[in-house]
Structure 1
Amino acid sequence: MRLKLQRNHPLDKDAEAIEDTSEILNTRSEEEDEDLVTPATGLPLDLILIQNISRVIYNKIGKTGGRSLLAIAEHISARNNFQRISSDYHRRSLNLDQEARFVSKVMSIPAPFLYDRHVKFVDFSKYDVAEPPGYINLIRDPLERKLSAYYYNHRSLNGSASFEECVIRVLEECRPGKLSLIPYFCGQSEMCSEGHLALETAKRNVVEKYIFVGLLEHFERSLRIWQHLMPQFFLSAPDVYHKHFKSEAIRRAASSYRRDTPEAVKEIMRSRMRLDYEFYDFVKKRMALIEAQLKLASKKRGKKKRSTT
């Protein structure tokens, strides 16, 4: 199945402007270290290769919008002819035996499928499997995710510290490295729990193992990208979201348990999450570049059509 991109591409609606995109996507600077991973590494994406992926893992992360994404996937699975399978096993960290069993279980599922589970990244290529799954994920501004998780876990606050107290007193939930996004993309190794090596490994996995990582803050844009990268799974996902799930997502966000937090406290917490923010910004920049690639492909297709008429 070939990716069909048209003029007046839906991604044109709110894609971020990037100057000299063709240079970013097709060249490397002379000074660039070949081992350095940047948001442009591995771009442009091989759209035809992605079109042929039939096994997808969504190693979902709590408090990042996974409920909405999976509801959409469930709704469109029959019309797009794939299985949506949700694991009832929630161990995020796996030892070698558990990892091998996980790989065996996933590979035993008849394709095409979208499999979701709360689990840190598992590298299927270590197991010499034919046609290993591609990964997708959805992340969120690190502080917003932490606030959401904190107030959800302390809904009553009876006997619990406020988030402000948690930060000022450096309680367990508000220490550096807690509730980090990075281990989900770095993997199962002990070194993935924290530090710059974990961050760089997570970035490399994003460019080498993940088809696309979306952002909750730009959920509709993310759906449009998934639709155009992977129509075999996400065709009609944006329309389905608008018709059936957007109002409920807005309602849930409005009825959250969160309280106001002073900006000074937020800044303290952001400084403790600087590696997570570096990762988040990396994914955000890559998202804009992938949007730009799709827009360029659309323009080229439009020019080709005009030249043949």
Structure 2
Amino acid sequence: MLSRFFSSEWIALASVSLTVFLFIHTQILTARIEEIKQEALTAAAAFSAHENHLSSASQEKSRGDFSGNNVHSNAQEQYSSDQQGGSSSGLQHHHRQYLHPKKKYNATALNNTRNSEKETLFFNRVPKVGSQTLMDLMQRLSIANGFQFHRDKTQKVETIKMTYYEESRLTTMVDMFTPPSVYVKHTCFSNFTRHGYSMPIYMNIVRDPIERVISWFYYIRAPWYIIERKQVFPELPLPHPMWLKKDFESCVLNGDRECMFIPGEYHDGVGDHRRQTMFFCGHDEKCVEFNGEWAMQKAKRNVEKHYAVVGVLEEMDITLKVLENYIPRFFAGASHVYHDNLSSMVKINKNMYKPPVSEQVKNILRQNFTNEIEFYEFCKQRLHMQHAAVTNL
């Protein structure tokens, strides 16, 4: 009993010490960033030339004539134009700029919910897109709207891409939930019909790809994340101090392996979920290719055919409005509940240890995220079209 007491005391002391250490070091990193910015332009030019050589093959591929391109329209051109012009608001255009002038949008044609045969909602959530906030919202709505809420357990290693057998087990489990039900899990898109089941109602959220990888970089270094993981999985070793000391800007500018986002790469060994399109593409090996053309086009087709709503983190009000109108069985009253609890919801997983990252460094990364950015802009335009259809814009 006494040894158990001291063991518990030691763990508590170690946790507090780690938290204090990381907090102090993060403050130092924030100060160092200002010094790094002075060197960024010179280093960025050299690194950019290197990355351009690696990504040229991907950028020169011709676009396939998939239906997703018709929806995408000029959104990517608008984004690129703003970046070249030095605008910092390239991802924050008013939604009218994503819509065809004078065109009326049909809400029924844009609503895939009507294609589902049962009231089971599958949220195959992408990491670092505000999904924790949305899950909290859904749990609150489950009481008012009368549905069951299910989510997967915390995993030591997330199984995102599955084998056919693993995918079959997943689809069988989800199909067994009594409607109306919600299931939430980090995983790639699964076509339930391949395994003999009807399709659920699919939904997801996306985020600016560059902001998402920056968020992930600091998220896994946050003291509370490390402590929570250690509590759930005591056998996990504590991260090396040198790894904890990394800051994102230096990581990119110095060509650190963790921050090299190389187009065409399949298995980088980093495990940072840099492939947002992969969650919509599926479990095919081709979906793993980073910034791949095939993966992007397959992801677009799956969104158009199977997803009721793909929201955008940066535009939560529009996202909630569309969810309320296109999936009312689960999201009726979502905007009201969200804004009534806004002060607590916006703090979920908010990382106070994440320092700012310069536009110079972000622009270096954008050159290698061309297809990831295009898919993000495609999802944003589709969301705006759905919103316009229900608000008569």
Q: Paired residue for 2:151, among 65, 70, 86? A: 86
Deviation per residue, 1:121-159 (Å, 9 max, x gap): 111121232x32021001111111111111122337942
Task: From the CA coordinates, give the structure whose radius of gyration is larger.
Answer: 2
44-53 or 279-288: bigger deviation:
44-53
| Rounded Cα–Cα distance in structure 2 between residues aligned with 1:270 and 1:209 | 28
Distance in 2, matches of 1:133 and 1:47, equals 10
- In 1, the alpha carbon distance for the partners of 2:100 and 2:115 equals 26
How far off its partner does 1:247 sit? Answer: 1.1
Cα shift at 1:173: 2.8
For 1:112 and 1:101, locate their aligned partners in 2 and report how far apart those are by CA, in whole Å.
20
Answer whether contact 1:44 1:293 (CA < 8 A) is retained.
Answer: no
Q: Corresponding residue for 1:107?
A: 175
Note the aligned Cα RMSD (angstroms).
2.5
Cα distance in 2 between the residues matched to 1:249 and 1:231? 21
Q: 1:126 to 1:48 in 2, by over 3 A?
A: closer
**Rounded Cα–Cα distance in structure 2 between residues aligned with 1:114 and 1:256:** 31
Work out which of the residue numbers 238, 244, 248 in structure 2 matches 1:163: 248
Bigger Cα displacement from structure 2, 273-282 vs 84-93: 84-93
Q: CA–CA distance in 1 between the matches of 2:112 and 2:209?
A: 30
Matched with 1:227 is 324
Q: CA deviation at 1:84?
A: 0.8
Q: 1:74 to 1:170 in 2, by over 3 A?
A: same
Q: Equivalent residue for 1:243? A: 340
Q: Distance in 2 between matches of 1:254 and 1:115?
A: 23
Aligned 8 A contact 1:51 1:231 in 2 = no
Q: Which residue of 2 aligns with 1:97?
A: 165
User: Structure 1 residue 200 and structure 2 residue 297: aligned?
Assistant: yes
Q: Secondary structure at the match of 1:78?
A: helix
Shift of 1:47: 7.4
Name 1:175's counterpart in structure 2: 260
Q: Contact (CA 8 Å) 2:133, 2:348: kept in 1 or not?
A: no
Task: Tell me the distance in 1 between the aligned counterparts of 2:112 and 2:249.
Answer: 46
2:277 and 2:114 map into 1 onto residues whose CA distance is 27
Aligned partner of 2:168: which letter? Answer: A
Establish whether residue 289 from structure 1 lines up as the match of residue 370 from structure 2: no
User: 1:205 and 1:43, CA in 2 relative to 1: closer, same or farther beyond 3 A?
Assistant: farther
**Using a 3 Å threshold, how does the CA distance of structure 1 residues 252 and 58 change in structure 2: closer, same or farther?**
closer
Alignment identity in percent? 28
More helix by share: 2
Contact 1:50 1:230 in 2 (8 A): no
Matched, 1:63 2:128: yes
TM-score computed with the length of structure 1 as normaliser? 0.79
Q: Distance in 2 between matches of 1:52 and 1:232?
A: 14
TM-score, normalisation: structure 2? 0.63
1:262-277 maps to which residues of 2 (within 5 A)?
Answer: 262-277=358-373
Number of residue pairs the alignment of both structures matches: 266
**Structure 2: distance between partners of 1:125 and 1:172:** 39
Q: Does the CA-based 8 Å contact 1:92-1:119 persist in structure 2? A: yes
Distance 1:154 1:236, change over 3 A: same
Give the Cα–Cα distance (whole angstroms) in 2 for the partners of residues 148 and 203 of structure 1: 24
**Whole-angstrom distance in 2 between the partners of 1:46 and 1:140:** 21
Between the aligned partners of 2:295 and 2:112, the Cα distance in structure 1 is: 28
Paired letter, 2:391: K
1:154 lines up with 2:221 in the alignment: yes
Where in structure 2 are there 5+ consecutive unaligned residues? Answer: 1-93, 224-239, 264-271
Which residue in 1 is equivalent to 2:284?
189
Shift in Å at residue 96 of structure 1?
1.0
Residue 202 (structure 2) aligns with: 135
